[in-house]
Amino acid sequence: GITRHYKFNIKLQNVTRLCHTKSIPTVNGKFPGPRIVAREGDRLVIKVVNHIQNNVSLHWHGIRQLRSGWADGPAYVTQCPIQRGQSYVYNFTITGQRGTFFWHAHISWLRSTLYGPIIILPKRDVPYPFVKPYKEVPLIFGEWWNADTEAVIRQALQSGAGPNVSDAYTINGLPGPLYNCSANDSFKLKVKPGKTYLLRLINAALNDELFFSIAKHTLTVVEADGIYVKPFDTDKLLITPGQTTDVLLKTKPDFPNATFFMAASPYFTGLGTFDNSTIAGILEYDDQPSNSSAINRKKQLPLFRPTLPPINDTAFVANFSSRIRSLATTQFPANVPQTVDKRFFFTVGLGSSPCPKNQSCQGPNNGTRKFAASVNNISFALPTTAILQAHFFGQEKGVYTSDFPINPPFPFNYTGTPPNNTLVSNGTKVVVLPFNTSVELVMQGTSILGAESHPLHLHGFNFFVVGQGFGSFDPNKDPPNFNLVDPAERNTVGVPSGGWVAIRFLSDNPGAWFMHCHFEVHLSWGLRMVWIVLDGEHPNQKLPPPPSDLPKC
Ligand code: C2O
């Protein structure tokens, strides 16, 4: 591989959407941010210089960071944030990975504007396991607030209530023609007839799982989270925040006399107000250059809109996610751990915590409490220095404790009547894993405040989704049905609304690895925890010391 250098200047830029202009944090003045393109085996050296007031850190979502955990990015987990006027060089090699990923800020809600695609191509002369696309197009979904998103989350955390919903969803930063004052801000994909396009879909939205479809076209799913899957055809799909999905789009053989909308709308089963608007882009067939009547003709083209599933279509979601299977071939094996060293059972969900004295809260229980979210009833509190640093230098005292409850603190029927105790407690608790531990983790949605799906994301690893189901996980009846042959291998999985998911991974990467809900609001409420993976015996199983420019807190 080669070394590719990037310079990311974090600076403010005026951007207008929906007739609102605001000054937003950007990389190099671009919104969405620049695209990183590299090949498997390349080294990326990305110098990030912070020119804004806010502290910043960037994360390379889905990149495993094998023995380069110092470059992973979540603030107060692997590094202290980069302060104004300071810089940090993220230096890592893409080992054994190719596919679609993305980068985003990993502190507070700055990722609402600081994000962009990462495309890792296969090594030179290594073909895709599917037809060579005529063209590749990244489609990155996002969310736009007219208000300042830092103010939105600050206000929510202070009041204990849910944050204001966004004003629009976006494709490549553009809300599209279905929103008011947005007709000119539409993503348009111009295609030629009879060709195959590879669409690299990335969900970088903060709080919304999205259905996606293109009117009157079939999509062939070929990759999820940077792992090739058994191809299958569908006319709609679901993508959670933190997931990427590559699809082949075969265009019609001739110039159809029509314009097609591509559209995305949210999947949501929880409580509360929700932005259920639809975002759209346009698929337009290129006319032959010699066709002089093209312009006239275009004005009368009928317009087709796709039908998207209803907002709470959990049956579609479960069915779609179960169709995603690893290739499991000799060339692309599914290395599912067949035995398990350690089993964990985590509850994930929303709850509430007491309203601080002298404060009035607007959260659950008739507005008397604050919203909180937790794993095994622990709402994870970020420390004031980085966990990885504390671990590496043996200074964990006062930073974190290693007593994360590895089983839920009280038994209850997770989908039935909520127990009285829905209060969560705060803590900075981690699970410590020896090197090369084969882990099985069942994550159970608690449904205490209504059944809701949680897109759980694990840093540092891919995991295999060996099982999922509705209701309460049954430790006797469910494991015999686990798929240990060709399960999906990914880095983000939706814990089903009103159900559970079981994953397996091998702890072969020393470091401190964040695991959290990729809904930014749930992350802010504490639905997050950290795995610390110890060094192995051999020199190539150890985490090297931090780079000298690692930011200080
Ligand atoms: Cu994109 Cu910690 O995540």
Domain range for 108 is 1-125
Is ligand 1 within 6 A of the CB of residue 242?
Answer: yes
pLDDT single digits (tens) 478-512? 999 999 999 999 999 999 988 999 999 999 999 99
In a domain, residue 524? The reply is yes
Last residue of a domain, one of 299, 326, 353: 326
Question: Among the atoms of ligand 1, which is closest to the Cα of residue 514?
Answer: 2
| Contact (Cβ atoms closer than 8 angstroms) between residue 422 and residue 347 | no
| Contact (Cβ atoms closer than 8 angstroms) between residue 108 and residue 163 | no
Query: Is 374 found in the same domain as 245?
Result: no
Q: Whose CA is nearest to atom 1 of ligand 1?
A: 61
Residue type, position 106, single letter:
H
Is ligand 1 within 6 A of the CB of residue 528?
Answer: no
Nearest alpha-carbon partner for 88 in 475, 547, 553: 547
| Contact (Cβ atoms closer than 8 angstroms) between residue 116 and residue 60 | no
Query: Is 310 found in the same domain as 412?
Result: no
Last residue of a domain, one of 125, 150, 179: 125
| Separation of alpha carbons 213 and 279, rounded Å | 11
pLDDT single digits (tens) 202-222? 999 999 999 999 999 999 999
Question: Among the atoms of ligand 1, which is closest to the Cα of residue 111?
Answer: 1
What is the ipTM, given to two decimal places? Answer: 0.99
Query: Is 351 found in the same domain as 378?
Result: yes
What strands, in cross-sheet order, belong to the sheet with 370-375? 425-427, 378-380, 370-375, 342-353, 438-445, 499-506, 463-470, 489-490
pLDDT single digits (tens) 337-350? 999 999 999 999 88
Q: What pLDDT score was predicted for residue 409?
A: 64
Question: Among the atoms of ligand 1, which is closest to the Cα of residue 62?
Answer: 1
Higher pLDDT, 10 or 447: 10
Q: Whose CA is nearest to atom 3 of ligand 1?
A: 61
Mean pLDDT to the nearest integer, 346-355 = 88
Query: What secondary structure letter does DSSP report for 541?
Result: G
> In this structure, what CATH number is given to the domain that contains residue 255?
2.60.40.420
Domains contained in the chain, number: 3
Q: What pLDDT score was predicted for residue 367?
A: 82
Cα–ligand 1 centroid distance for 491 (angstroms):
10
Higher pLDDT, 495 or 407: 495
Angle at the Cα of 208 from the Cα atoms of 366 and 447, rounded to 5 degrees: 45
In a domain, residue 334? The reply is no
Last residue of a domain, one of 77, 109, 125: 125
